[in-house]
Amino acid sequence: MIVVMEQGASQQDIDHVVKSIRELGLREHVITGTERTVVAAIGDDRAKSKENIEMLPGVEKVMPVLAPYKMASREVKKDRTIVPLGGTLGAAAGGKQVCLIAGPCSVENRTALLEVAHQVKEAGATALRGGAFKPRTSPYAFQGLGEKGLEILAEARDQTGLAVVTEVMAVDQVELVAKYADVLQVGARNMQNYNLLCAVGDQRKPVLLKRGLSATLEEFLLAAEYIISRGNPQVILCERGIRTFETYCRNTLPLAIVPEVHRISHLPIIIDPSQGTGHAHLVPDMCKAAVACGADGLIIECHDDPEHALTDGAQSITPKALGNLMKQLRKIAAAVDREI
Amino acid sequence: MIVVMEQGASQQDIDHVVKSIRELGLREHVITGTERTVVAAIGDDRAKSKENIEMLPGVEKVMPVLAPYKMASREVKKDRTIVPLGGTLGAAAGGKQVCLIAGPCSVENRTALLEVAHQVKEAGATALRGGAFKPRTSPYAFQGLGEKGLEILAEARDQTGLAVVTEVMAVDQVELVAKYADVLQVGARNMQNYNLLCAVGDQRKPVLLKRGLSATLEEFLLAAEYIISRGNPQVILCERGIRTFETYCRNTLPLAIVPEVHRISHLPIIIDPSQGTGHAHLVPDMCKAAVACGADGLIIECHDDPEHALTDGAQSITPKALGNLMKQLRKIAAAVDREI
Amino acid sequence: MIVVMEQGASQQDIDHVVKSIRELGLREHVITGTERTVVAAIGDDRAKSKENIEMLPGVEKVMPVLAPYKMASREVKKDRTIVPLGGTLGAAAGGKQVCLIAGPCSVENRTALLEVAHQVKEAGATALRGGAFKPRTSPYAFQGLGEKGLEILAEARDQTGLAVVTEVMAVDQVELVAKYADVLQVGARNMQNYNLLCAVGDQRKPVLLKRGLSATLEEFLLAAEYIISRGNPQVILCERGIRTFETYCRNTLPLAIVPEVHRISHLPIIIDPSQGTGHAHLVPDMCKAAVACGADGLIIECHDDPEHALTDGAQSITPKALGNLMKQLRKIAAAVDREI
Amino acid sequence: MIVVMEQGASQQDIDHVVKSIRELGLREHVITGTERTVVAAIGDDRAKSKENIEMLPGVEKVMPVLAPYKMASREVKKDRTIVPLGGTLGAAAGGKQVCLIAGPCSVENRTALLEVAHQVKEAGATALRGGAFKPRTSPYAFQGLGEKGLEILAEARDQTGLAVVTEVMAVDQVELVAKYADVLQVGARNMQNYNLLCAVGDQRKPVLLKRGLSATLEEFLLAAEYIISRGNPQVILCERGIRTFETYCRNTLPLAIVPEVHRISHLPIIIDPSQGTGHAHLVPDMCKAAVACGADGLIIECHDDPEHALTDGAQSITPKALGNLMKQLRKIAAAVDREI
């Protein structure tokens, strides 16, 4: 880290900073500028607190040099991680193939889910999404079918070969969900639920980690670091939109995160245009944009009868619309040397 | 809810909306304007999905009329809720007395905690804060003492009479934390951890609920609604700053939420100026502002030796500084007809 | 507009609202719901103040039904506006062709500008960007060459046929800039400089209007409305990123605005991936995404020697990189039935 | 500035950075850490572009050490600036006295303005606000009385002794407004209208500079630097709320800016709780909070008959409400060793 001293900082202040740097097990390097003195702390300070330095007398600010995550960074692993999703259709995130995960927001009943599973497979999906445990803003809203929903998802996989991606909301659900699902999804609201991150890090199924709606990229990668550091390297990052002042969309979808993640991390990143916009009429164009800028996958809310969907009807597209969209997506993928 | 039709909406579109409103168990009221047709849906639609209407053909937008929370609203309870915090010093949030909760970010060791407990009591606090389970952005940072920390907190209460406020991070910690603590804190990162909200709603200790860093006020009150609807009405709201583009502070502290919560809810609201700014030098002035605008309490990070704090040193003030601050806070409280 | 009354609103309150609605020249329609009374005001209220209703006793909130802009909306003009940019290469925004505007952030000297103009034309651009008047955050930074810069731009047009797009910062520069340029750019910082909007509305050259970095889409279209309502319908909207909490990019580029503008307005919208990200390494992927989601054009900062650029070097790509990028952009454009 | 090299940066990359630093007229200092090489550039780099370094090969990021503003900073002037506002009542911002500026959003007619001027003086104000030129989001809204409005304001000053504060929207209005007004206000939308900043810097009346709704504090002080660097040191900063995702208020009022400005600048800062919240019912509590945290003044929208106000009725309080509020404000001011 770099410690910038205030203009009027005394020699005593500087000595104090140097002493504190040494207490942290780091070495100091003092640079006397024309207007400021700057003290560089040398050594791995990832686990050190820059705050204790920041509040010392005479210190103006402390600037970190090293990113706080390590195992999620590209520096420790140059080649891109490919995470197989499961199922029998070869679904994977991070390779040349852009993976397509589609399905309803929540599992509503057996018939409808099986029907939509076949339809999204037909349209080109290799994985099925669908919530059995639903995090809902209101306590009065439909909360999901629970284990019954998981059973239905597993049956859909058996029938179609699609990998099953579904959300796990709590530590005590991890074992149950891992029993049925191929990929465990950690939702945006739980991105900093550290106990849950540790729990999914302790099991062996891949994890689809959604970005919190106001999480920085650094916090996002640190959440992945929690999972990886427990021994599970199979993390798929998922951008699902951030909260801004904008009102024409439910969330703002910041696609520049795709090339940035590819630059600083080895993990695959996929895009959720459904949550990322909140409106079905914006979904197809955002799918195209995501593929064009290099996303490793798409996760799309797809419902046969959106106007009767129990959850998220307004942002779901039909399997038929998905099928039509795929024609353009294939051309765009080819243009950027990918396949879908 | 109010359904605004597009300019060119057909009679068929309007009929479809009317049919869907009836399917939801509501009554419709069609208003033909000069430029738009508007359909009002009459009845309690709190648990109904406006999304399914929103995606119907010819619909431009749907605007909710009713707030989605009920038990947290002022409409169902006109008088302000007073939540006793516990301890033997009469600590309570929501009455004439502005409650002062102070203590270290995390419990670091027995000696230091007991020392600071006596000091903050001396300064005027009636409740003690301190984390035993710590949610940390990085997996490599100090994660708290766990149950040992809870024991130390309980000992501090026995010695001082201060109520103990401490965070619970997971469902399986609720029973343990409730055994030692007087008030269970749900942190900002867990504001939408619904399983945790239900768990603290199922026990009988008061809950201090921190606002998520990009949660809307409506989502904040819905999180409270989760707790209340499980049978625990003792909820204290806590504003701890929101995430914005600002960089001189770690978070932006939006104090206007205090009079707004008092207008629309009966729950008490307290302010955390430590998290709310991230810098010790901003804390005293924000304490003054909070008391001046009617906050029902303050929760302040206080450390005897901030530069050696294991966590959050940069935003902790000393007990001595707190004591000095109290003189001004008492005058400000008196000016707005409160006490501290 | 829809006026939602508070739960306890009296008949007198409702009568007051009705009277105020009539004073505004509108008609009222009172709907008595199960929990609330709602009063709809019927008529064109675009120029009426909803605020005066909002503060009446017993009123909870007022929700607008009509968008406040009119001439910029799709309702008054169904077919998409095509704005010819000038020059001799057929540059236009809004048609099948995606227009490519490229060039340096600022005009630095004659030789360099002419050189880069030929290069971007070679790469496929049909219009040249370059600032002669530069809005700079710091008073100590390079402020542009002024009229000398305009002369150089005009010479570049004469040599290449490229249309010239350049910024006008003040009312008293409009005549001068319009003398040399083909398209007058209003920068993001001036999006709500209403005197300037009126001035560019009063002349006849096309206007490229950049979105303010925290302007809502409604405010953006109202700024366009200022220009159109003065008699100049040739407005090209330009998204250049919004300010959010994100730090890996200078601005967040919200591409969903492209399909949304196409839905609610007839105006063309182009994307500025240079300002929109702030980093050259993110620009190519955002160009691809923009074309894929239907943008009507790209405006890209391009510099032959970015490391010696006087302004915005970090977000400029080289003409050579642009040329390479065009190969992929052409394929993506074809995939979405466009050309570039 | 501090240049952080990528982990794999070559010696050639480092040499290139060193060469570029020297080209900027700065000296370099290379520090070889355990994981990164860092190059410090020594000298005054305020007017140098860190961007050109940022895009060099092998560079990860560049961190500025010096703030880019100088004359607005506390380093060049330790004592706080006091700006007299004019009029005959001793109005000034920056001293012990908290100045109170009150009046209608816009001047609507002579009778009403004179009436409200006497009323706000009675309530305790020493300066009068009121817009003659109004920046309006919609071209169809009331745009102000222009010079006629200025004449009325001047007459109100003659009758009451109140200093007159009014907005100037364009360079060609500066002379006219300066003829009538005591303080020239630059509105939030024009905070980065650099031509206007220069124009108000070139005249001698004090300037009330409002913060742009998504301007960083650094950009805010750089806007002040524009004015000061032209020779006018009489700048009063005004916080009027920032744009965030919050919906219960029109803007979010970040009061922590008050102590932060006092820490890093010598300029006075006042608060606009009317724009800062957008709702009259939030104004009084935000006034109290502002005074409590050390604001140097308040600028409040005050209207005798808010429900018939031509502009901003919803956020205006009555002179009578202001009078009542003053009783509490005086006590709070006394508590923090100020007067009002």
Question: Which of C293, C298, C329 to mutate to probe the A interface, most A CBs <10 Å?
Answer: C293
The tens digit of pLDDT for each residue in C215-261 reads 999 999 999 999 999 999 999 999 999 999 999 999 999 999 999 99
Q: What is the pLDDT of residue B146?
A: 94
Burial tier of A158 (Cβ tally within 10 Å: 0-12, 13-18, 19+): exposed
Q: What is the pLDDT of residue C34?
A: 82
Q: What is the pLDDT of residue B311?
A: 83
Segment (H or E) for D157: helix D147-160
Per-residue pLDDT band for D96 (boundaries 50, 70, 90) equals very high
Cβ distance C222 to D308 less than 8 Å, yes or no, reads: no
pLDDT exceeds 80 at position A48: no
Q: What is the pLDDT of residue C335?
A: 97
Per-residue pLDDT band for D260 (boundaries 50, 70, 90) equals very high
pLDDT exceeds 80 at position C9: yes
Per-residue pLDDT band for D308 (boundaries 50, 70, 90) equals confident
DSSP string over D67-102: -S--TTBTTT--SPP-EEEETTTTEEESSSBPEEEE
The tens digit of pLDDT for each residue in A213-241 reads 999 999 999 999 999 999 999 999 999 99
Burial tier of A318 (Cβ tally within 10 Å: 0-12, 13-18, 19+): middle
**C93–chain D nearest CA distance, Å:** 25
Chains contacting chain A through 3 or more C-beta pairs under 8 A: B, C, D
Q: What is the pLDDT of residue B130?
A: 96
Residue A222: its chain B contacts at CB < 8 A?
137-139
Query: Is A194 at the interface with chain B, CB within 8 A?
Result: yes
Residue C69: its chain D contacts at CB < 8 A?
138
Chains contacting chain C through 3 or more C-beta pairs under 8 A: A, B, D
Please state, in angstroms and as integers, the Cα–Cα distance from residue D194 to each residue in C131, C278, D199, following that order: 15, 21, 8
Q: What is the pLDDT of residue B51?
A: 81
- Looking at chain D, the whole-number percentage of residues with pLDDT higher than 70 is 100
Cβ distance D33 to A7 less than 8 Å, yes or no, reads: no
Between helix D257-264 and helix B283-292 the angle, nearest 10°, is: 140
Q: Where are the beta strands (DSSP E) in chain B?
A: 2-5, 27-32, 37-42, 59-63, 83-86, 91-93, 99-103, 127-129, 163-167, 183-186, 207-210, 235-239, 269-271, 297-301
What is the rounded average pLDDT of the residues A57-63?
91
Give the closest of B217, B244, B259 to D242, CB-based.
Answer: B244
Q: What is the pLDDT of residue A55?
A: 84
Cβ distance C255 to A331 less than 8 Å, yes or no, reads: no
Rounded to a whole number of angstroms, the distance between the first and last alpha carbons of chain A is 43
Residue B332: its chain D contacts at CB < 8 A?
292, 331-332, 335-336
Please state, in angstroms and as integers, the Cα–Cα distance from residue A177 to each residue in A84, A110, A186, A210, following that order: 18, 17, 11, 17
DSSP string over A289-325: HHHHTT-SEEEEEB-SSGGG-SS-GGG-B-HHHHHHH
The tens digit of pLDDT for each residue in B71-127 reads 999 988 999 999 999 999 999 999 999 999 999 999 999 999 999 999 999 999 999
Chains contacting chain B through 3 or more C-beta pairs under 8 A: A, C, D
Q: Note the helical H segments in C147-216.
A: 147-160, 174-180, 194-202
Radius of gyration of chain C (CA): 23
Query: Is C7 at the interface with chain B, CB within 8 A?
Result: yes
Chain B (248-267) residues lying within 8 Å, Cβ to Cβ, of chain D:
248-249, 252-260, 263
- Torsion of Cα atoms, C148 then C153 then C156 then C157, to 10°: -130
DSSP string over C307-333: GG-SS-GGG-B-HHHHHHHHHHHHHHH
Residue D280: its chain B contacts at CB < 8 A?
none
Query: Is C169 at the interface with chain D, CB within 8 A?
Result: yes
Residue D277: its chain B contacts at CB < 8 A?
256
Copy the structure tokens of residue B47: 């648990």
Q: What is the pLDDT of residue D47?
A: 73
What is the rounded average pLDDT of the residues D73-98?
95
Please give the distance of CA B244 from its chain centroid, rounded to a whole number: 18
Q: What is the pLDDT of residue A159?
A: 97
DSSP string over D231-262: T---EEEEE--B--S--SSSSB-BTTHHHHHH
Closest CA to B153 of B190, B121, B180: B180
Closest CA to D168 of D142, D202, D139, D197: D197
Rounded to a whole number of angstroms, the distance between the first and last alpha carbons of chain B is 43
Residue D245: its chain B contacts at CB < 8 A?
214, 216, 242
Q: What is the pLDDT along chain B (340 residues), one digit of tens a residue?
A: 999 999 889 999 999 999 999 998 999 999 988 888 999 999 888 777 788 888 899 999 998 888 889 999 998 899 999 999 999 999 999 999 999 999 999 999 999 999 999 999 999 999 999 999 988 888 888 889 999 999 999 999 999 999 999 999 999 999 999 999 999 999 999 999 999 999 999 999 999 999 999 999 999 999 999 999 999 999 999 999 999 999 999 999 999 999 999 999 999 999 999 999 999 999 999 999 999 999 999 999 999 988 888 888 889 999 999 999 999 999 999 999 999 9
ipTM: 0.95
The tens digit of pLDDT for each residue in A118-169 reads 999 999 999 999 999 988 888 888 889 999 999 999 999 999 999 999 999 9
Indicate the DSSP class of residue A232.
Answer: -
Report yes or no: B103 and B298 within 8 Å, Cβ to Cβ.
no
What is the rounded average pLDDT of the residues A50-72?
89
Half-sphere exposure of C45 (CA within 13 A, CB side): 28
Strand partners, A167: A185
Q: Are strands D297-301 and D99-103 parallel, antiparallel or unpaired?
A: parallel
Q: What is the pLDDT of residue C37?
A: 92
What is the rounded average pLDDT of the residues A287-310?
94
Q: What is the pLDDT of residue A266?
A: 98
Copy the structure tokens of residue A246: 């904008």
pLDDT exceeds 80 at position D49: no
Question: Residue C191 and residue D189: Cα distance in Å, rounded?
Answer: 8
Segment (H or E) for D164: strand D163-167
Domains A2-63 and A83-335 are alike in CATH topology: no
Q: What angle do CA D56, D60, D66 make, to 5 degrees?
A: 90
**D78–chain C nearest CA distance, Å:** 22
Copy the structure tokens of residue B268: 């008490």
Half-sphere exposure of C27 (CA within 13 A, CB side): 7
What is the rounded average pLDDT of the residues C265-285?
97
The answer for residues whose C-beta is within 8 angstroms of residue B209's C-beta and 6 or more apart is: B185, B186, B191, B220, B223, B224, B227, B235, B236, B237, B238
- The residue ranges of every structural domain in chain A are 2-63, 83-335
Indicate the DSSP class of residue B113.
Answer: H
Q: How many residues does chain A have?
A: 340
Residue A55: its chain B contacts at CB < 8 A?
280, 306-307, 313-314, 316
The tens digit of pLDDT for each residue in D144-194 reads 999 999 999 999 999 999 999 999 999 999 999 999 999 999 999 999 999
Cβ distance A252 to C248 less than 8 Å, yes or no, reads: no
Copy the structure tokens of residue C290: 């923009």
Give the closest of A20, A46, A135 to B194, CB-based.
Answer: A135
Please state, in angstroms and as integers, the Cα–Cα distance from residue C312 to each residue in C131, C136, C188, following that order: 11, 11, 15
Residue B65: its chain C contacts at CB < 8 A?
4, 33, 36, 38
Chain C (203-232) residues lying within 8 Å, Cβ to Cβ, of chain A:
214, 216-218
- Looking at chain C, the whole-number percentage of residues with pLDDT higher than 70 is 100
In three-state secondary structure terms, D115 is helix
Query: The domain at D83-335 falls in which architecture?
Result: Alpha-Beta Barrel (3.20)
- Torsion of Cα atoms, A329 then A333 then A336 then A339, to 10°: 180
Report yes or no: A295 and B33 within 8 Å, Cβ to Cβ.
no
Residue A292: its chain C contacts at CB < 8 A?
285, 288-289, 291-293, 332
Of the listed ranges C35-44, C97-106, C204-213, D260-269, the one predicted with least confidence: C35-44
Chain A (272-331) residues lying within 8 Å, Cβ to Cβ, of chain B:
280, 306-316
Cβ distance B331 to D331 less than 8 Å, yes or no, reads: yes
Question: Residue B265 and residue D248: Cα distance in Å, rounded?
Answer: 13
Copy the structure tokens of residue C149: 């810069």
DSSP string over B40-89: EEES--TTS-HHHHHTSTTEEEEE--S-S--TTBTTT--SPP-EEEETTT
Residue A247: its chain C contacts at CB < 8 A?
216-218
The answer for residues whose C-beta is within 8 angstroms of residue D46's C-beta and 6 or more apart is: C138, C140, D66, D68, D70
Q: From 3.40.50.1390, 3.30.70.1140, 3.30.460.80, 3.40.50.970, which CATH number describes the A2-63 domain?
A: 3.30.70.1140
Residue B40: its chain C contacts at CB < 8 A?
31, 33, 38, 40
Question: Residue D181 and residue D208: Cα distance in Å, rounded?
Answer: 12
Indicate the DSSP class of residue B98.
Answer: P
Copy the structure tokens of residue C20: 């105020």
Indicate the DSSP class of residue A153.
Answer: H
pLDDT exceeds 80 at position A308: yes
Give the closest of A7, A33, A42 to D42, CB-based.
Answer: A33
What is the rounded average pLDDT of the residues A173-190?
97
The answer for residues whose C-beta is within 8 angstroms of residue B30's C-beta and 6 or more apart is: B14, B18, B37, B38, B39, B40
Q: What is the pLDDT of residue D317?
A: 94
Closest CA to B300 of B235, B224, B340, B240: B240
Per-residue pLDDT band for A263 (boundaries 50, 70, 90) equals very high
Residue of chain B whose alpha carbon sits nearest to that of C243: B245
Of the listed ranges C24-28, C32-36, C40-44, D120-124, the one predicted with least confidence: C32-36
Q: What is the pLDDT of residue A65?
A: 87
Cβ distance D40 to A43 less than 8 Å, yes or no, reads: no
How many CB atoms within 10 Å of residue A121?
22
The tens digit of pLDDT for each residue in A239-258 reads 999 999 999 999 999 999 99
